[in-house]
């Protein structure tokens, strides 16, 4: 008996916080929906939230932990949505619109998206920073364009693919289960030697090479897993909607996901989940509240909030102010949760202002048409010492 | 232990807070507390397609105001009820429809105008079908929009526009070089093009030239170049790119060529700063409305619109006219229903309204006199009726916005 | 088995015509502490970069325990047994001290655990993890970093960061350790301590060490043999004191006058 | 013959892309940030021309340049400068926020309806069967002029050389007594002025303006800048022209036209895979 208690005490609760909170939220809402107490709009909102969370957490793996900037997440989602949607259409006759169909579609959609991630990642991950960003953005636009130009029989062309909608009442529960699966896979990966290798690449790629980390392999692993879950989110999207239209998955959508990751805190999964949920909620609420003439204010408000939050969170000049009026500190003081030991404990999820992202390329402003600088001026190009 | 307890407490509190945020009392008939009949629409009010959604919103509001004035005055045949109109922004994206639809529905919308554009409309009609909400869409012209019994269109369906245009071409443009200029990533454009090509005579289809563009493109120099030898250029696109093509085509496309479009071309002569008379070619389109109309009921409506809204920033187009007709058609149908002894009030559920309205719209003797379609009545209105499958029956008109001027 | 742990033969590299390093012939015996010295810009770090696979040598080759390693990638070379530190410290700043070392343990065969088992949390994952923590803690204790194991590497004082880098390199279980200016920025006391550490590593880890250093007291204090480089070529080699007293070397360090 | 016309059209469109790409590249080279709002500055320039066109075309052009410069500089001061020294991603996000902000502001002020802005009517040059609009030629010539002038400015003036110094090494440049803030502000001013010019020439090419006007050209110009090698002034020119020509050629082929955007982006990917720093980009190896 004592041993069991010891064991429970030994568990790092922090590791399981995400699961517990999401599990509780899912359980509460499931209970409510079984009781019929939830309006449809809430169910839709929850569906959208789960999709956003899966997208944001999976993109967070690449941006927050691998430190590479990808603007093509919506492209993988698009692949997942179309492929998964198509599979579900083909299976709908034989298997109906139930869970079995959903599972098979999810599997196929995720696999194809992962394969796309592999095909794109293999060459593209040689590029760094902004170059990778633009290549992924380009990939996203190419995928969109290709699906738009398909024939009506295959993927519906510009009209989009008609997909069977899953039961509205319960889809969000599957969404939450998928969020938990996503979290389990990504957190388990990160909290292992492989996760350390990925974080090491983010922190210092050169040192990671020198420490024997197979950088290419781990970049690909992170990229492929991230793509696979974008595919999962896409399949979920195809089940949450009656239509999959490629136009939705443009680079603006990728940027929206990136915003969730960045506002949530780079390399902070809990923060990413919260920001994905809050941003989705905010977007939905603004759409609902701002009707008629006020609708144009939506983007304005969104933009202003975005700029203010980012400047407030990051401006070096506001550092003292931030530390003085830290809401988290305030909350902790209020609940007296600060333990003298807790300050010593630090996780890998460092403050994100410090987390390096390799999006700076050190390109210099150049005016000469010199094809290869290093041949002309070797000691400048490489100061080996 | 204390710490864990505090954390647990926090969690419970947070969950409770969230739940209270989301849960409404499990009421299914949201219209119960309405004081007016609520008509809703989901359309692009911001973003690239907003010009269409805003026209719908404005024109529908004009109709609502007029009806309410009549109702307020009372009198024989009135319903004795007021109307209310809500427009929510879907940004021309299907993704947003679940939000706009459910918020409309739960805020007590009883009758809907569906969506302004087709892409989100495909989502809207499914959701509306599940709840049995009546749809009379002003401008979502996709063939699949009126798939279910509760959905009707005020505009011509894409396939009808394509085949009707082809019929006209077969009759009038034999022996001419035909060209098509379409938008390859838009269902409206590709839909019309497809049925147009299907219905076109083989003799015309031979040697047909095509050029296309995509969302965001506006430099049409190569497309103009590709189509410059054509005698008739079919343009199943909206008026903005069409006007850009015509501007580019000045002096390159043959002066005696004909630009021929569908309802999307309406509004081309009303673009602020674009002088259509400087286009040497003939510009005409087959549509149900001409926002440059100078006679009939259309003219009266246009004047009303322009008096109420800024012509430059929120210009009228056929979307608006159709929306105006939609609201009036619903009102007329309700009057017919009342005359037929149906009972309803401001709190009647959407499903009941749907039943009532569907019955009227599919009945053989319901004809609505509107501003869209060919003016055949003495007061300059048109006759509009609906087929059982939701498509509109009214006479299309070939509007010649501008005839060819050999002088220029 | 070769007599030498590291042997380079005519190792050289040129960047677009400029010969940065040429004809470097190092011969390092087991358990030796070998110095690679020379004025700034002599090509010392370039040699390190060639030995660790950052650059591919354009001429010559090198052997580790008789095995030719030229042409391999950095990762492979590291796995074959060459580990290094950097002139400007390169730690995984946003990771804790212990995890920095655990990254070093990544490739050791005893800590093998595939990606799927870790995601599915097989028992092997927990076993590996516990073993890795244990080994890392041992290493950290040796370097006096155990107390700060849960600090972010970023927050360590400078001297400890240097030590951590060495610990991380050692964690990869190398046969040859390359130290790039380990004493840079240290005060004499710290340097003294560092020399102790290096000797300790050599003795207790059965290590062969090649180091670049400008601090002559350190070089004289611990190096058995040195090679002096200038402008990419070897000026002198052999016993520390002999090599440093060669007129060529003095000239290179102090100038012509 | 048709092909030549297409080519010339492509060159002209490429000239516009190049002008936008030059702004991107300048800002990127100096401030090391992706200015996602750059495309929207073009849009603001276009609307400024619209507002002032009633007075006089020349006045409107001057007003557009002034407006864009002021806007560019103030965006830099308000949204980017406070973030200097923090994560580059933060700056990227504020730039995106700025882009949304400008677009929705334009929609509130000018509505979403397209507006025609006809600055001047141009004739066309006829060489036999070849017919090329004067506007096209002017655009092309202007783009080349801008590139050459910018090149000379950066190469031979004190401020230009200071710019290169800042882009090479900010800290070293500061130690040499260069006022970094001034240089960055100036870069934004030049970039925004170029955006105003790009707006002018794209209005000469296609005389319509709407709030989302700058978004796609912005992305395409960014693509062009990367193709040419971001940070390189001739590279931006080359990339822009290449993209413009490809776009026009693809659009002139009926079967290929629907894939134009995909082809443009595919070219970007292929070029980057073959030459990871773009056609004329330089890469500095990271010091190990």
What are the pLDDT digits (tens) for C4-29? 899 999 999 988 778 888 888 999 99
The confidence score (pLDDT) of residue A83 equals: 95
Q: Taking CB atoms and an 8 Å cutoff, what residues of chain C touch A212?
A: 74-75, 78-79, 83, 104, 106-107, 172
Identify the residue whose tokens are 């050459």.
Answer: D148
Domains and their CATH numbers in chain A: 17-336 (1.10.3470)
- Strands across the sheet with B368-375, in order? B368-375, B382-386, B392-393
In a domain, D288, yes or no: no
- For residue A296, give the nearest of D96, D107, D167 by CB distance: D107
- Probe site for chain D from A143, A146, A206, A364 (most D CB atoms < 10 A): A364
Interhelix angle D134-156/D158-168, rounded to 10 degrees, is 80
What is the ipTM metric for this complex?
0.91
- Probe site for chain B from A97, A283, A289, A291 (most B CB atoms < 10 A): A291
**CB distance D208–B218 less than 8 Å?**
yes
CB of D101 less than 8 A from some CB of B: no
Cβ-based neighbours of C255, under 8 Å, separated by 6 or more? none
Residues of chain B with CATH 3.40.50.2300: 34-156+295-393, 159-287
> Does residue A151 register a pLDDT over 90?
no
Kindly report the CATH number assigned to the domain that includes residue D86.
Answer: 1.10.3470
**CB distance A381–D285 less than 8 Å?**
yes
CB of B11 less than 8 A from some CB of A: yes
How far D145 CA sits from the closest chain B CA (Å)? 22
Is there a contact between A81 and A109 (Cβ–Cβ < 8 Å)? yes
Q: Taking CB atoms and an 8 Å cutoff, what residues of chain B touch A288?
A: 88, 99-100, 103
In a domain, D287, yes or no: no
The confidence score (pLDDT) of residue D124 equals: 74
Of C10, C51, C52, C7, the C-alpha closest to C232 is C10
**CB distance B219–D206 less than 8 Å?**
yes
Q: Which residues of C208-239 are buried (b: 16+ CB within 10 A; e: fewer)?
A: bbbbbbebeebbebbbebbbbbbebbbbbbee
Mean pLDDT value across chain C: 88
In a domain, D280, yes or no: no
**CB distance A148–B130 less than 8 Å?**
no
Residues 84-103 of D with CB under 8 A from A: 84-90, 92-94, 96-101, 103
Beta bridge partners of B38: B84
Residues 354-393 of B with CB under 8 A from A: none
Beta bridge partners of D130: D127
Q: What is the pLDDT along chain D (288 residues), one digit of tens a residue?
A: 678 888 888 988 999 999 999 998 888 888 888 888 999 999 999 999 999 988 888 999 999 999 999 999 999 998 888 888 777 888 888 999 999 999 999 999 988 888 888 887 777 777 777 777 788 888 888 888 998 899 899 889 998 889 888 888 888 888 888 888 899 999 999 999 999 999 999 888 888 898 988 888 888 998 999 999 888 888 999 999 999 999 999 998 888 889 999 999 999 999 988 888 888 877 655 555
Q: What is the pTM of this model?
A: 0.90
In a domain, D77, yes or no: yes
Residues 46-85 of D with CB under 8 A from B: 50
The confidence score (pLDDT) of residue C41 equals: 80
Q: What distance in Å separates the CA atoms of residue A212 and residue A194, rounded to the nearest whole number? A: 13
Q: 10 Å Cβ neighbour count for B55?
A: 31
Instruction: State the residue range of the domain holding D231.
Output: 2-274
Chain B interface residues facing chain D, Cβ-Cβ under 8 Å? 46-48, 50-51, 54, 184-185, 209-223, 225-226, 240, 243-244, 247-248, 251-252, 271-274, 310, 312-315
Q: Which residues of A220-234 are buried (b: 16+ CB within 10 A; e: fewer)?
A: bbbbbbbbbbbbbbb
Domains and their CATH numbers in chain C: 4-91+173-254 (3.40.50.300), 93-155 (no CATH)
CA A376 to chain centre: 43
H-type helices in chain A, by residue range? Answer: 2-10, 13-34, 40-60, 73-95, 99-124, 129-148, 171-190, 193-203, 205-210, 215-240, 251-264, 269-289, 297-314, 319-324, 327-335, 373-376, 378-381
Q: Taking CB atoms and an 8 Å cutoff, what residues of chain C touch A203?
A: 91-95
> Which helix (H) or strand (E) is D190 found in, with range?
helix D180-205
Residues 158-187 of A with CB under 8 A from B: 158-160, 162, 165, 168
We find that the CATH architecture of domain B34-156+295-393 is 3-Layer(aba) Sandwich (3.40)
CATH topology of domain B159-287: Rossmann fold (3.40.50)
pLDDT < 50 positions in chain B: 1, 25-27, 407-408
The confidence score (pLDDT) of residue A319 equals: 76
In a domain, D281, yes or no: no
The confidence score (pLDDT) of residue B15 equals: 64
String of DSSP letters for B327-369: HHHHHHHHHHHHHTT----TT--HHHHHHHHHHHHHSTT--EE
**Using only C-alpha atoms, what is the Rg of chain C?**
19
**CB distance C46–A384 less than 8 Å?**
yes
The confidence score (pLDDT) of residue B133 equals: 93
CA B233 to chain centre: 24
Q: 10 Å Cβ neighbour count for D254?
A: 16
Distances (CA, A) of A220 to A137, A216, B223: 17, 6, 42
CB of D219 less than 8 A from some CB of A: yes
Give the pair of three-digit tokens for residue D169. 């090494």
> Does residue A164 register a pLDDT over 90?
no
Q: Taking CB atoms and an 8 Å cutoff, what residues of chain A touch B215?
A: 247
Highest mean pLDDT among A232-241, B3-12, C122-131: A232-241
- For CA atoms B243, B245, B250, B254, give the dihedral sign: negative
Please, do chains C and B touch (3+ CB pairs < 8 Å)?
A: no
The confidence score (pLDDT) of residue A373 equals: 37
Strands B282-287 and B397-402: antiparallel
- C186-245 pLDDT, tens digit per residue, is 888 888 888 888 998 899 888 999 999 888 888 888 998 999 988 888 888 888 888 888
């Amino acid at each position: 008996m004592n041993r069991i208690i010891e064991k429970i005490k030994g568990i790092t609760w922090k590791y399981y916080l995400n699961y517990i909170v999401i599990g509780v939220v899912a359980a509460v809402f499931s209970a409510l929906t079984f009781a019929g107490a939830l309006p449809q709009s809430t169910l839709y909102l929850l569906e959208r939230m789960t999709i956003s969370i899966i997208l944001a957490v999976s993109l967070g793996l690449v941006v927050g932990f691998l430190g590479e900037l990808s603007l093509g997440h919506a492209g993988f989602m698009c692949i997942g949505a179309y492929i998964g949607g198509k599979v579900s259409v083909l299976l709908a006759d034989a298997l109906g619109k139930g869970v079995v169909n959903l599972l098979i579609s999810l599997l196929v959609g995720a696999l194809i998206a992962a394969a796309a991630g592999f095909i794109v990642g293999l060459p593209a991950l040689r590029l760094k920073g902004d170059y990778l960003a633009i290549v992924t953005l380009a990939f996203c636009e190419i995928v969109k364009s290709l699906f738009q130009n398909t024939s009506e029989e295959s993927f519906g062309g510009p009209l989009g693919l008609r997909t069977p909608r899953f039961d509205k009442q319960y889809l969000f529960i599957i969404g939450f289960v998928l969020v938990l699966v996503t979290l389990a896979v990504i957190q388990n990966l990160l909290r292992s030697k492989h996760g350390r290798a990925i974080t090491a690449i983010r922190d210092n790629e050169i040192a990671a090479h020198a420490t024997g980390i197979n950088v290419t392999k781990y970049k690909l692993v992170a990229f492929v897993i991230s793509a696979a879950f974008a595919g999962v989110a896409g399949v979920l999207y195809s089940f949450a909607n009656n239509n999959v239209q490629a136009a939705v998955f443009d680079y603006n959508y990728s940027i929206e996901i990136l915003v969730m990751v960045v506002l949530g805190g780079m390399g902070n999964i809990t923060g990413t989940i919260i920001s994905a949920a809050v941003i989705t909620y905010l977007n939905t609420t603004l759409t609902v509240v701002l009707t008629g003439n006020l609708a144009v204010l939506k983007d304005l408000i969104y933009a202003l909030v975005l700029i203010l939050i980012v400047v407030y969170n990051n401006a070096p000049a506001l550092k003292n102010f931030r530390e003085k009026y830290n809401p988290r500190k305030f909350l902790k003081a209020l609940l007296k949760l600060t333990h003298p030991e807790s300050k010593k404990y630090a996780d890998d999820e460092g403050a994100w202002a410090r987390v390096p992202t390799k999006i700076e390329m050190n390109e210099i402003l150049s005016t000469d048409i010199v094809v290869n600088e290093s041949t002309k001026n070797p000691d400048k190009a490489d100061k080996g010492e | 232990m204390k710490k864990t307890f505090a954390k647990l407490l926090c969690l419970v509190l947070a969950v409770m807070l969230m739940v209270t945020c989301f849960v409404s009392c499990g009421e299914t008939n949201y219209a119960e507390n309405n004081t007016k009949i609520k008509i809703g629409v989901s359309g692009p009010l911001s973003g690239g397609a907003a010009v269409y959604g805003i026209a719908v919103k404005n024109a529908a509001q004009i109709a609502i105001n007029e009806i309410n004035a009549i109702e307020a005055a009372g009198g024989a045949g009135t319903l004795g009820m007021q109307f209310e109109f809500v427009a929510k922004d879907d940004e021309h994206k299907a993704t947003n429809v679940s939000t706009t639809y459910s918020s409309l529905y739960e805020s007590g919308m009883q009758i809907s105008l569906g969506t302004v554009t087709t892409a989100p409309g495909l989502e809207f009609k499914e959701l509306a079908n599940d709840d049995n909400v009546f749809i009379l869409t002003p401008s979502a012209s996709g063939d699949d929009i009126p798939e279910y019994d509760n959905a009707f269109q005020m505009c011509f369906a894409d396939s009808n526009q394509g085949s009707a245009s082809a019929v006209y071409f077969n009759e009038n443009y034999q022996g001419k070089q035909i060209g098509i200029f379409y938008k390859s990533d838009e269902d409206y454009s590709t839909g019309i093009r497809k049925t147009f090509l299907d219905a076109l005579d083989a003799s015309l289809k031979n040697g047909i030239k095509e050029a296309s563009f995509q969302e965001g493109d506006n430099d049409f120099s190569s497309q103009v170049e590709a189509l410059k030898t054509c005698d008739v250029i079919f343009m199943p696109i909206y008026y903005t790119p069409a006007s850009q093509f015509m501007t580019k085509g000045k002096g390159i496309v043959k002066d005696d060529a004909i630009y021929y479009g569908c309802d999307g071309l309406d509004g081309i002569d009303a673009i602020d700063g674009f002088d259509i008379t400087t286009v040497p070619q003939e510009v005409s389109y087959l549509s149900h409305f001409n926002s440059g109309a100078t006679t009939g009921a259309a003219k009266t409506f246009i004047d009303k619109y322009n008096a109420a809204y800024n012509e430059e920033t929120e210009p009228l187009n056929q979307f608006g006219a159709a929306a105006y007709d939609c609201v009036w058609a619903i009102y007329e149908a309700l009057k017919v229903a009342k005359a037929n002894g149906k009972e309803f009030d401001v709190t009647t559920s959407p499903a009941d309204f749907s039943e009532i309205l569907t019955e009227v719209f599919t009945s053989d003797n319901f004809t609505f006199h509107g501003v869209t379609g060919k003016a055949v009545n003495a007061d300059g209105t048109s006759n509009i009726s609906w087929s059982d499958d939701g498509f509109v029956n009214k006479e299309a008109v070939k509007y010649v916005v501008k005839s060819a001027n050999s002088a220029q | 088995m070769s007599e030498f742990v590291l042997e380079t033969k005519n190792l050289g590299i040129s960047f677009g015509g400029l010969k940065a390093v040429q004809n470097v012939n190092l011969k390092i015996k087991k358990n030796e502490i070998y110095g690679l010295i020379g004025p700034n810009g002599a090509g010392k770090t370039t040699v390190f970069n060639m030995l660790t696979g950052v650059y591919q040598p354009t001429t010559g080759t090198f052997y580790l325990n008789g095995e030719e390693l030229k042409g391999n990638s950095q990762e492979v070379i590291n796995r074959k047994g060459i580990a290094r530190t950097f002139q400007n410290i390169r730690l995984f700043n946003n990771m804790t001290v212990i995890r920095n070392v655990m990254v070093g343990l990544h490739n050791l065969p005893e800590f093998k655990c595939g990606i799927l088992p870790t995601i599915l949390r097989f028992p092997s994952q927990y076993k590996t993890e516990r073993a890795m923590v244990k080994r890392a803690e041992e290493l950290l204790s040796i370097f006096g970093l155990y107390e700060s194991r849960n600090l972010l590497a970023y927050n360590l004082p400078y001297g400890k960061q240097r030590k951590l880098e060495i610990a991380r390199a050692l964690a990869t279980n190398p046969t040859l350790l390359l130290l790039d200016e380990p004493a840079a920025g240290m005060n004499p006391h710290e340097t003294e301590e560092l020399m102790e550490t290096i000797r300790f590593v050599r003795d207790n880890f059965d290590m062969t060490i090649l180091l670049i250093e400008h601090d002559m007291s350190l070089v004289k204090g611990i190096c058995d043999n040195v090679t002096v480089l200038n402008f990419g070529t070897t000026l002198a080699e052999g016993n520390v004191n002999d090599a440093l007293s060669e007129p060529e070397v003095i000239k290179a360090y102090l100038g012509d006058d | 013959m048709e092909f030549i016309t297409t080519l010339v059209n492509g060159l002209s469109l490429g000239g516009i892309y190049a002008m936008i790409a030059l702004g991107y590249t300048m800002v990127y080279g100096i401030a090391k940030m992706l200015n996602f709002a750059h495309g929207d500055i073009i849009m603001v320039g276009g609307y400024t021309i619209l507002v002032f066109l009633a007075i006089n075309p020349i006045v409107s052009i001057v007003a557009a340049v002034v407006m864009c410069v002021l806007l560019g500089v103030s965006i830099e001061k308000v949204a980017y400068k406070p973030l200097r020294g923090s994560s580059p991603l933060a700056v990227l996000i504020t730039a995106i926020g700025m882009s949304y902000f400008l677009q929705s502001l334009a929609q509130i002020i000018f509505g979403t309806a397209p507006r025609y802005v006809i600055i001047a009517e141009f004739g066309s040059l006829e060489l036999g069967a070849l017919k090329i609009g004067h506007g096209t030629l002017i655009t092309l010539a202007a783009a080349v002029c801008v590139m050459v002038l910018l090149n000379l400015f950066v190469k031979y003036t004190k401020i230009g050389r200071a710019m290169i110094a800042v882009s090479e090494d900010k800290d070293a440049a500061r130690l040499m007594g260069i006022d970094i803030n001034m240089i960055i502000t100036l870069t934004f001013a030049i970039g925004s002025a170029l955006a105003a010019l790009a707006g002018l020439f794209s209005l000469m090419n296609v005389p319509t303006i709407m709030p989302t006007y700058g978004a796609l050209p912005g992305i395409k110009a960014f693509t062009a800048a990367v193709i040419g090698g971001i940070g390189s002034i001739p590279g931006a020119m080359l990339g822009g022209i290449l993209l413009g020509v490809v776009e026009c050629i693809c659009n002139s082929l009926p079967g290929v036209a629907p894939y134009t955007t995909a082809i443009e982006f595919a070219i970007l990917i292929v070029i980057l895979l073959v030459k990871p720093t773009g056609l004329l980009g330089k890469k500095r190896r990271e010091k190990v």
